[in-house]
Each structure stands twice: as C-alpha cells, then as structure tokens.
C-alpha cells in the first residue's frame, strides 16, 4: 500500500465526514484514494451517483444512515467501516443480505467513555463545573455561601448495560467506594447485583449511568417512571446515545426537582440541546465527546486504516461486526 501514485490506490468513499480525518486525513490519503463529497463541486447526490457503481469500500461515521435505500445505490459495495462503536445508524441485516462486511470502532473508545462517565458523575456530585463558574464570576470574595456538594463514596450506582464501557465504569467507581449494580438483557458473571428491569434498578439506586447500545428495545428506556423511581436525590449520567432517555421527560424532571442532577454527553436531537438545560446549574453538558481524545483518535486511525487494508488484501477485518 506504499505506492505514491494516487490513481493506483484503492478507492474508499467517505461519508459523514469522520472527525478523525481532520487529524489523520493526510496519513490516510497515503494508502487510499479517498472520495470525499465535501471537497467536490458536485452536490452530494450527484457525487454519490458518479462513484456508486464502482466503489467497493466505504468509510462512514455514526451520523450516516445506512438503510436499504441508501445501500441500493452502491451495487459494488463490499465493506463498510464505521468510526462509531454504536451501530444504531446501520441496518445490519440488510448489510448481511447484500454480502457487505461491516467493521466498527470495537471497544477502542471504552476507556475514554468510561473515564468521561466517571468525570461527569464526580462533576455533578461535587459541583466542579459550578464551582469553576462561582470562582470565575468573582463570587468567592463576596462571602456568598457555596452550596454543599455530595460525597461520591457510598453512592449506589446502577449501570444500565454492562458491556465493555459498563465494566470499566464499575471498576473505576468501586475505587471510590460506590456500590455497583446493573441492568442488562441477561445476568453476567460479575459480583454485582443484577436487575433484569431498569425500573427496579432505579428504585435501588442513587445514580443511573446509561452505557447500553441504542436499539429498538432501549429507545426511551429511561422515561418519567424510571426517573421518579430514581428519586429526588437521583442523578443520571448518559454517555451512550441520547434517545435511550426520553429527553422531554428528563428535562421536566430536572426542572421540577424530581431528580437532583444529570451529566449528559449525548442528546436526542444532537447538536441541539434543549434550551431549558442551558440555564440549570445541576447539569453538566458535553457535546458528544466522551470518546474524543488524542489517544483514541490515533487508535481509531490505526483501526480504520487496518480494517480497510485487511479488506483490500483479502484478510480478516480487525474489528468485524459482520464478516460474511
């Protein structure tokens, strides 16, 4: 793959403008001829029509909706490599039916996302972002009484989903003295109490950390009833996908004091964040960046590049989701 002649490089259509190309685009272009609609003078639809008949490989991000009508435009497509860990944007059974292999980010974001979940929880409990605003607004010398924050240790934390991220959140929070339990489709070989039902988990916990995949089953899994079960001292952390929570009901519960606070990296209608949240000081808001570190982007570049090289060399994908 070291040939410098761009014409001989294998073609990869890039949809959704994966962020990491802003950092690793040049390195990527040494091995692949990237077909980038945003650099073309053609409108997106026409750009796709121009390349869709022949292109075999696609690099996309979590924002690209890969459904049957989308796929029908690419009769030669054999592999899709998505920069996301989540696969809720893709119709996997249609990919399988068409014989298209899929690779994703696997678990390379798990540590960073788990770190962020814990960071958001400490931040909400210990009011760190609020404290920073207090100091920057000059309130400290004015003898304003700073509100008491809440201890991390001893808190009963319920993990909604116990995959790669959930396990890492559990490990970190145990070191703080938190008491872990979890909800999942099935019981796992871990020492934490298991609740098959999220409402039941909420009644037993002070904190819910959402770390499950977004599927038809988990959409709006966290609704008003679950939030009321969590209770007035309850805190929600979401580093998974926005639509797992009924956002309208969450906003109502936060505004009416039905729960105590939230740390949210994801939202239902990104990049739009409900206006009401912007003025609340018991929430910490983050623009879907829990996975986003220099180190994870280096890893992502290597994994995406490695998957595409593997495909063009007829080798097994490095992080296959379906590999027919």
Contact positions vs its own copies (CB under 8 A): 19, 22-23, 111-112, 115-116, 118-120, 122-123, 126-129, 131-132, 134-136, 139-141, 145-146, 148-154, 171-172, 174-177, 270-273, 278, 284-287, 289, 292-297
Contacts of 136 (CB under 8 A, 6+ apart): none
Residue 238 CB, nearest distance to its own copies (Å)? 14
| Nearest distance, CB of residue 294 and its own copies, angstroms | 5
Annotation says 270 is catalytic: yes
Please say which residue, 90 or 124, places its beta carbon nearer to its own copies.
124
Query: 233 and 206 in contact (C-beta within 8 Å)?
Result: yes
For tokens 């018991």, the residue is: 282
Nearer to its own copies, 55 or 205 (CB): 205
Residue number, 102 or 239, with CB nearest to its own copies: 239
Kindly tell me which of 68 and 287 has the beta carbon lying closer to its own copies. 287
Element (H, E) at 238: strand 235-238
User: To which residue do tokens 């890039």 refer?
Assistant: 14
Cβ–Cβ < 8 Å for 34, 14: yes
Task: Report residue 97 as tokens.
Answer: 């039916």
Distance CA 116, CA 290 (A): 5
Q: Which residue has the tokens 């949240």?
A: 277
Check if 241 is active-site.
Answer: yes
Residue 296 CB, shortest distance to its own copies, in Å, is 7
Catalytic residue among 94, 174, 258, 270: 270
Residue 23 or 70: which CB sits closer to its own copies? 23
Q: How far is CA 120 from CA 35, 113, 262, 285, in A?
A: 38, 10, 8, 9
Catalytic-labelled residue, pool 241, 247, 249, 268: 241
Q: How far is the CB of 45 from its own copies (least distance, A)?
A: 21
**CA-closest candidate to residue 283, choices 136, 130, 117, 113:** 130
CB of 241 to its own copies, least distance (A): 16
199 belongs to the catalytic site? no
Q: Are 299 and 108 in contact (CB under 8 A)?
A: yes
Determine contact, residues 153/177, Cβ cutoff 8 Å. Answer: yes
Closest by CA to 196, choosing from 210, 181, 211, is 181
Residues designated as active site: 241, 270, 288
């Amino acid at each position: 793959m070291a040939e410098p002649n761009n014409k001989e490089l294998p073609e990869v259509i890039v949809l959704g403008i994966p962020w990491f190309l802003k950092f690793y685009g040049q390195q990527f272009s040494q091995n692949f001829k990237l077909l980038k609609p945003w650099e073309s003078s053609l409108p997106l639809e026409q750009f796709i029509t121009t390349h869709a008949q022949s292109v075999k490989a696609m690099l996309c991000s979590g924002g690209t909706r890969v459904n049957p009508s989308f796929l029908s435009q690419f009769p030669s497509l054999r592999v899709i490599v998505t920069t996301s860990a989540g696969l809720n944007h893709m119709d996997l059974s249609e990919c399988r039916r068409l014989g298209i292999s899929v690779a994703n980010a696997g678990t390379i974001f798990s540590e960073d996302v788990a770190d962020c979940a814990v960071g958001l929880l400490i931040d909400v409990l210990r009011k760190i972002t609020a404290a920073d605003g207090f100091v920057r607004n000059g309130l400290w010398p004015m003898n304003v009484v700073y509100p008491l924050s809440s201890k991390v240790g001893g808190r009963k934390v319920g993990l909604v989903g116990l995959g790669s991220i959930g396990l890492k959140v559990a490990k970190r929070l145990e070191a703080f003295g938190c008491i872990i339990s979890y909800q999942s489709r099935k019981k796992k070989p871990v020492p934490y109490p298991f609740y098959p039902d999220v409402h039941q988990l909420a009644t037993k916990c002070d904190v819910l950390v959402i770390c499950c995949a977004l599927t038809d089953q988990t959409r709006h899994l966290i609704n008003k009833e679950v939030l009321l079960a969590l209770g007035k001292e309850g805190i929600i952390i979401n580093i998974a996908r926005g639509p797992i929570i009924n956002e309208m009901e969450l906003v109502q519960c936060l505004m009416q004091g039905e729960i105590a606070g939230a740390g949210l990296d994801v939202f239902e209608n990104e990049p739009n964040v409900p206006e009401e949240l912007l003025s609340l000081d018991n929430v910490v808001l983050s623009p879907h960046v829990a996975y986003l570190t220099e180190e994870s982007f280096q890893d992502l570049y290597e994994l995406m590049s490695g998957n595409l090289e593997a495909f063009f060399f007829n080798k097994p994908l490095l992080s296959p989701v379906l590999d027919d």
